[in-house]
Amino acid sequence: MAENFDLIVIGSGPGGYVCAIRAAQLGMKVACVEKRATLGGTCLNIGCIPSKALLQSSENYEELTHGFKDHGINVEGISLDLARMQARKGEVVTANTKGIEFLFKKNKITWLKGEAKFTGPNAIEVAGEAYTAKHIVIATGSDSVPLKGVEVDEKRIVTSTGALELDKVPGHIVVIGGGVIGLELGSVWRRLGAEVTVVEFLDRITPGLDNEISKAFQQILTKQGFKFKLGHKVTGATVNGEQVTLTVEPAKGGDAETITADIVLLSIGRYAYTAGLNLEAAGVATDERGRVKVDAHFTTNVPGVYAIGDVIAGPMLAHKAEEEGVALAETLAGQRGHVNYGAIPSVVYTWPEVAAVGQTEEELKEAGMAYKVGKFPFMANGRARAMGAMDGFVKLLADQETDKLLGAHIVGPDAGALIAECVTAIEFGASAEDVARICHAHPTLSEVVKEAALAVDGRPIHI
């Protein structure tokens, strides 16, 4: 007889494991299927966590090699132990994945090890065993988008997974795609000594971000040594021993050229991953991009089958997947789970960081909305000067009529931490004036947010 659960979650990434924990907290008998040897999904194993470990290590290295002198600190004999840096990253990942294993035990969640395959609408098979559940959640995440003519071997031509594992600093790394992965991992290897060239199809980097922020971000990265080849596409890659030769063409047509690289990072986006799930057996429908179709309550076209996280539409972000996991578990328990998609922050963990929430100026224009803009540079902030981190600015967008905050965009030091205040403001429906009147500690970087809010009304103090 097939073992029965109240809820089976397929995939233990931030969407799946959080959904499983919340459902267990609410009294359900829960199982989570994971085919990887460790829990935590893309995020903990090959995504957010290892990339942030290497970003931190490489930032420390760059600070030591380039940043300290100006502070009157002379350091000699610095050397890079990449093997240790990579080992530390591995330790950070293990501590996190083991942490989820502990949370599963604590919440009495059964980990079904292996690949889940639907055998019917409410039934799956894992490692030859049959299981049924009242509710089944698909949280199988995403994978790297491939590119014709660029064969990934995870050694010379790598996705983010291989780029996190390099055992030697490449002389020249070519990044295909000027998005989040390319710029974060490009930063890691540039800081450690690589030359980095980004080939981007569009005439701008980071397409989802506010254009003005994107432009400033690109200028800052260029100052750091990044080279950008915008409006170009890679049409082929040939590995010759230790080197890769890339064929690059203007996106709008023109003469092809070749670029050689030691490592090529393919980062042109991620797609919803449902391979091996046998969705047909359950009759679950997907959209034109292969994403599982769901309604506002994460229900698929098949009653009792749900989907959350990267495998459905929306930003492919860990915290978005987590919010959906909680909302779905609460809905299944009879509560009113809800995700406010208008208040989901996004952060690029480069130096400086880039962070955003709400609408961009381009989106407001497109929607025909009348808006006000308030901007304030980190250059005019005492703390940023003391830190020696003056690049960037905060840009707030508010409704022309009501002053309601509609968007917040930051490029600058600790943008990822600073955006939290803006997320709270947007979630609470605050006006720019509300933010402007809140007392912000001095001297902190958060004063730049306050000054930008004052600037919405044309009355910043320190500029």
| Position 34 contacts ligand FAD (CB under 6 A) | yes
Among 5, 8, 9, 12, binds ligand FAD (CB under 6 A): 12
For the chain, the C-alpha Rg in angstroms (whole number) is 23
Considering only residues 8, 16, 217, 436, which one is a binding residue for ligand FAD as defined by CB under 6 A? 16
Q: Which stretch binds ligand NAI (CB under 6 A): 56-64, 100-108, 340-348, 370-378?
A: 340-348
Strands 243-250 and 129-138: unpaired
Size of the site for ligand FAD (CB under 6 A): 37
* Three-class SS state of 169: coil
Residue 234 binding ligand NAI, by CB under 6 A = yes
Q: Which does 193 bind (CB under 5 to 8 A by kind): ligand FAD, ligand NAI, none?
A: none
Name the token pair of 124: 């799956």
Of 279 and 455, CB closest to ligand FAD: 279
Q: Which range binds ligand NAI by CB under 6 A, 112-120, 312-320, 400-408, 419-427?
A: 312-320
Binding mask 180-219 for ligand NAI (x = CB under 6 A): xxx-x--------------xxxx----x------------
As a residue count, the chain comes to 463
Reported in sequence order, the residue ranges of 241-308 that DSSP labels E, i.e. its strands, are 243-250, 257-261, 263-266, 270-272, 305-307
Q: Any idea what DSSP says for residue 309?
A: G
The stretch near ligand NAI (CB under 6 A) out of 15-23, 313-321, 336-344, 370-378 is: 313-321
Instruction: Tell whether residue 345 is a contact of ligand FAD (CB under 6 A).
Output: no
Among 209, 318, 411, 452, contact with ligand FAD (rule: CB under 6 A): 318
The verdict on 300 binding ligand FAD (CB under 6 A) reads: no
The beta strands (E) that lie in 267-334 are given as 270-272, 305-307
Q: Tokens 């429908």 — which residue?
A: 285
The single-letter DSSP state of residue 145 is: P
> Considering only residues 180-199, where is the footprint of ligand FAD by CB under 6 A?
181
Give me the least distance between CB of 317 and ligand FAD, in Å please: 4
14 counts as binding ligand FAD under rule CB under 6 A: yes
| Residues ≥6 apart with Cβ < 8 Å to 94 | 38
In the range 110-149, which residues lie near ligand NAI by CB under 6 A?
A: 147
The distance between the two most distant Cα atoms of the chain, rounded to a whole number of Å, is 73
Residue 379 CA to residue 244 CA, distance in Å, equals 41
- φ, ψ for residue 84 (rounded to 5)? -70, -40
Q: Which is nearer to ligand FAD, 140 or 381 (CB)?
A: 140
- Of the pair 42, 431, the CB lying nearest ligand FAD is at 42
Please identify which residue in the block is written with the tokens 């609470």: 428
User: Per-residue string for binding with ligand FAD, 239-278, x by CB under 6 A?
Assistant: ----------------------------------x--xx-
CB atoms within 10 A of CB 320: 22
442 is annotated as an active-site residue: yes
Distance CA 346, CA 4 (A): 38
- In DSSP terms, 124 is beta-bridged to 118, 131
Tell me how far apart the alpha carbons of residues 321 and 153 are, in angstroms, rounded to a whole number: 29
Window contacting ligand FAD (CB under 6 A); options: 80-88, 138-146, 336-344, 367-375: 138-146
d(CA 348, CA 184): 7
CB of 373 to ligand FAD, least distance (A): 27
DSSP H stretches of helix in 107-179:
160-163
Ranges within 360-419 binding ligand NAI (CB under 6 A)? none
CA distance 302 to 281: 11
- Distance in angstroms (rounded) separating the CA atoms of residues 449 and 463: 14
Binds 33: which of ligand FAD, ligand NAI, none (CB < 5-8 Å by kind): ligand FAD
The angle that helices 48-62 and 180-191 make with each other, rounded to 10 degrees, is: 40
Q: Answer with the entry of ligand FAD, ligand NAI, none that 41 interacts with (C-beta below 5 to 8 A by kind).
A: ligand FAD
Residue 321 lies near ligand FAD (rule: CB under 6 A): yes
Strand partners, 261: 244
- Catalytic residue (one of 66, 297, 338, 442): 442
Q: With CB under 6 A as the rule, give the number of residues binding ligand NAI.
A: 27
What is the Cβ-side half-sphere exposure of residue 106, based on CA atoms within 13 angstroms?
10
178 binds, among ligand FAD, ligand NAI, none (CB under 5 to 8 A by kind): ligand NAI
CA dist., res. 394 & res. 104, Å (int): 40
Site residues, ligand FAD (CB under 6 A): 10-16, 33-36, 41-43, 47-48, 51, 115-116, 139-142, 160, 181, 273, 276-277, 309-311, 316-319, 321, 349
Active site residues: 442
**Binding residues vs ligand NAI (CB under 6 A):** 147, 176-182, 184, 199-202, 207, 233-234, 267-270, 315-317, 346-349
